[in-house]
Chains A and B, each alone.
Chain A
């Protein structure tokens, strides 16, 4: 199996991570049981790989987060990996239908909608008044006293 090691600075929650390839390590063979989704690989020590944090394995076809390597005797390194299922299944995930309750962009549109957002930081102490007034139209002038009289 061939391992491709990368560095990535992207958030772990990102589906498509930007990867900087460091090295490819070939001819890796299992030395024990391998859990496909959390494998450990034993490779020859390589100083360039000390700070790699990401890995792709051609045999499994999966992407993995790599914990800081364990340097062991015999000039070897142990890479303990955890499957990055988001990147590994990214294209399949994109095809899934979902009910989304928070989003940054939807078809390019940004901004709030009319769904109330209880997390939006509204100032609890400050507000502003928007005042309007309206005068009576056709204010009439005349005699002020209305008198009803029984007479005639």
Chain B
């Protein structure tokens, strides 16, 4: 596979391309335009450097691209051409299209840097990802999904062979088809002698799942003709006084340029009412950037197609974006009117991918499957996946997830030989009364028939208490006023409900986003720790590297037959951790037999409350410990219940006594991670409202007072692991090692230089 750098250029090549964008040599007033600084920076007029995103890509235009050789013609107030034809080689400038965030903030490596003020000068941002102030990508550049549509400006020729009149058509003509222009002969005269194609309008679209879209929320596409660049606006359709249109060789034709959506730079139609200003190059004044106030005084860039149809495809390919060859209105024409499949999935031979090599379009192209399988398309897909342009060998360097990351939980009804009911305390009492004194068999034989000689209480397999919010769901709204125990029917005044016992039934808690604080290593272990308390189960420690930046959801799977439960921790839909617990409290059946059931119920409820209190206490203690806490101990032992030791208490004791401190096996800390301490009176815990909520506590570090990031950067330096020429750095630079080839000096001096680099130098 081709290297990314072989397609879009190495850093040096891109640097050269950027530095080539120096229009001072073409007489552009310096107050209007500035040269580019080093790679990655553009200078604006007031001198501030604006860094650009590292995922930016851009390319130079093929030498034979029409936008490298353009001419101007002028129109008068009556829309007639004044044939001031000035041919000039335009600067080999970088072709780009705008993809700004709505507020035109410029981000570098996800750190906010600058709000671009367009009044400061011309800024031609490149295609890039855009980020918000939390470092989250809000606009992903995807090379494969930006397609171009070309419309061609066709004129009749006058007797001098110059364009005359209004353009006949933008896309195709009834009088002259684009294809026919190149191939047809009428009356023994090549059609191109009668007509001329004077310009190409380029519109850029983004491919959405629904197909081509002229306007997409995340991509602000501007109709571009000869690279017309416009200022970013919150609402593309409307302007304000600061709205500027910078025209680098754009066609300004009466009637304007309309895009598929009817929006955009309709110069003639909208005129000044929609645009604050037009700026373009004045060919009569040393190409000085000029504000054209009078829309009628328009300048037009045009070039003339004189080659073959294949040459025209090369011209379109010279702009670097995918397009399609299609039949429209009887004319074969490069366009993008139909939804198409571009990128690594391309198979249609009508779909064309311009070949870009070493950061420059070539005019060559690939079609269909050949395009889809190309390295260039693959790298375009990597952009979509947010790998970004690294200029390096293809490897995955980002944290974007991959693969099937959804855990499927199954549910199934459980049948069986038992019947499952839901009782209220009153009806449960009635059940006991019925068994103890309500049932009066006439004879011993009757008792044997009814209960096969065993204790009726033995027919009650299990009685469990579940707290409010977590009770077993009922089958339907039917209540049963009679229940068969053994062969005997017992009645209940109020009625009981049938329990819907289902394997895989769970209660889900609201999702909890885990967001970084520092957007650095400080958000991860051992600096940051995360504890998650799950009701009825206990506390689990979550590894920040797994959950940071993701959403944690907790599900509680309850086994109503046994009272046990399993807490499942999900990270964005993928189950990542489990912890066992006990949700139900078993009511001792022996109490039924002894007739002291009412006391047993009361004791069970008391025990539940005790368990809750102890759970909280255990959790408070568990916060401080960083050792992994095993799940709550499921004990249905009635005696244990009576003793009040339920759930996580035992495990919490283990934690407190262990008082573990997590040692980092990988990192040795000078200023150590915060010493782990048990929290005895943590106010957040005291602020717990409900007993049955999931609680997440993220323990985050603080800098020492007096820390100044700038001074620290300048005197100690920020930790990194970067491999690059030293010219890429400035300020304090500390090297692990360096290759001093190229320094002509004695060995002692080289050794001294290396030693200085390793202890730190200021570049």
Contact = CB atoms under 8 A, between A and B. Distances in A.
A138 B554 CA distance: 14
A35 to B, nearest CB: 11
Contacts of B576: none
Contacts of A123: 674, 701-705
Q: Which of A89, A98, A112, A142 has the largest count of B CB atoms less than 10 A from its CB?
A: A98
Would you call the interface of chain B mostly helix, strand, loop, or mixed?
mixed
A29 interface: no
Contacts of B522: 112, 120, 122
Given A110-B713, A137-B508, A143 B753 contact: no
B474 A142 contact: yes
A72 B731 CA distance: 40
Interface stretch (A11-19, A39-47, A49-57, A63-71): A11-19
How many B residues touch the partner, as a band?
35 or more
Contacts of A14: 761-762
Interface in A95-134: 95-134
B496 interface: yes
Given A132-B696, A150-B459, A109 B422 contact: no
Interface string B681-707: 010100111101111111111111111
A149 interface: yes
Given A124-B674, A143-B423, A146-B422, A134 B723 contact: no
Interface string B331-359: 00000000000000000000000000000
A106 B725 CA distance: 11
Given A98-B735, A103-B722, A146-B420, A141 B468 contact: yes
B668 interface: yes
Contacts of A115: 521, 719-721
B595 interface: no
Interface string B23-64: 000000000000000111100000001010000000000000
B419 A92 contact: no
A132 B706 CA distance: 29
B111 to A, nearest CB: 6
A11 B733 CA distance: 13
A149 B461 CA distance: 6
B703 A134 contact: no
A74 interface: no
Contacts of A118: 667-671, 719
Nearest to B732: A104
Contact of B719 (A95, A101, A107): A101
Nearest to B40: A107
A85 B749 contact: yes
Given A101-B721, A108-B41, A134-B510, A150 B731 contact: no
Contacts of B370: none
A102 B760 contact: yes
A94 B727 contact: yes
B509 interface: yes
Interface stretch (B259-267, B437-445, B646-654, B736-744): B736-744
Given A104-B714, A133-B688, A150-B459, A145 B424 contact: yes
Given A149-B485, A151-B459, A113 B720 contact: yes
Q: Which of B704, B720, B741 has the largest count of A CB atoms less than 10 A from its CB?
A: B720
Contacts of B587: 145
B734 interface: yes
Nearest to B561: A148
B431 A134 contact: no
A144 interface: yes
Contacts of A3: none
Contact of B702 (A94, A127, A139, A141): A127
A147 interface: yes
Nearest to A152: B484
B497 to A, nearest CB: 6
A83 B749 contact: yes
Contacts of A124: 671-675
A143 B704 CA distance: 54
A45 to B, nearest CB: 31
Contacts of B464: 145-146
A140 to B, nearest CB: 6
A69 to B, nearest CB: 24
B724 interface: yes
Contact of A136 (B507, B724, B739, B743): B507
Contacts of B463: 145-148
Interface stretch (B78-86, B124-132, B512-520, B655-663): B512-520
A147 B694 contact: no
Contacts of B740: 93, 96
B462 interface: yes
A149 to B, nearest CB: 5
Contact of A15 (B692, B737, B761): B761
A86 interface: yes
B575 interface: no
Given A100-B720, A145-B463, A108 B484 contact: no
B724 A97 contact: yes
B418 A150 contact: yes
Contacts of B508: 136-138
Nearest to A137: B508
B720 A102 contact: yes
Contacts of A134: 509-512, 554, 693-696
Contact of B425 (A98, A117, A133, A145): A145
A94 B743 CA distance: 10
Given A86-B756, A104-B713, A151-B486, A114 B520 contact: yes
A114 B721 CA distance: 10
A119 B459 contact: no
A106 B752 contact: no
B428 interface: yes
Nearest to A99: B736
B726 interface: yes
Interface string B511-538: 1100001101110100100000001000
Given A104-B714, A135-B510, A143 B699 contact: no
A104 B723 contact: no
A96 B761 contact: no
A37 B750 CA distance: 12
Given A122-B703, A126-B702, A149 B108 contact: no
Contacts of B366: none
B227 interface: no
Contacts of A85: 745, 749, 752-753, 756
B741 A96 contact: yes
A13 to B, nearest CB: 5
B460 interface: yes
A89 B713 CA distance: 25
Contact of A96 (B111, B670, B675, B738): B738
Contacts of A16: 763
A97 to B, nearest CB: 5
Given A125-B674, A138-B507, A150-B419, 16 more contacts: A89-B743, A98-B723, A98-B737, A100-B722, A103-B731, A103-B732, A112-B521, A123-B702, A126-B702, A135-B694, A137-B508, A142-B474, A144-B466, A147-B422, A148-B462, A149-B460
Interface of B: 38-41, 49, 51, 108-109, 111, 417-425, 428, 431, 459-474, 483-488, 496-497, 499, 507-512, 517-518, 520-522, 524, 527, 535, 554, 556, 560-561, 584, 587, 667-675, 682, 684, 687-690, 692-707, 709, 712-714, 716-746, 748-749, 752-753, 756-757, 759-763
Interface of A: 11, 13-16, 37, 83, 85-86, 89, 92-152
